[in-house]
Amino acid sequence: MDERPGSGRGGLFSATRSVAATLLATGRTRFELLGNEIKEEKLRAVRLLLLSQAMAFCLAVGLVLAIALLIVVFWDQRAALLGGFSALFLTVSALCYFALRRAMHTPERLFAASIAELEEDLRQLKGTAGNESGSA
């Protein structure tokens, strides 16, 4: 039997194996890309969480100390100061709550690079399939 590509069973099986190997290699590459994106997103999320908690802690301590200083300085108006700062902090916390709710309802496109690569692969496969059916 002739082993040239396209000239019998050996050529067809060889081509099928080649296509399968290419598809598996492409799939493996895409899964590695997806894994990298998951790892990067996890690291970014942990970093943002740690930075935001450190910032919130320092801000809270600084505000408590600033309010304590103002109360000591303006001892005669301590009730008005405490009431005013309480209202201010409750208002800011309500604004933060609504901003957080709005941010939670607008999802970010996760794995955008992987999806774009898969769409490009699909487009190329469709183009190749169209060329092969047109030439056959």
pLDDT tens per residue across span 25-65: 888 888 888 888 889 989 999 999 999 999 999 999 999 99
What is the structure's pLDDT at 132? 60
- Give the mean pLDDT of the chain: 82
- The answer to whether the beta carbons of residues 111 and 34 sit under 8 Å apart is yes
At 108, the pLDDT band (50, 70, 90 cuts) reads low
pTM over 0.85: no
Query: What single letter denotes the amino acid at residue 107?
Result: P
Q: Is 108 helix (H, G, I), strand (E, B) or coil?
A: coil
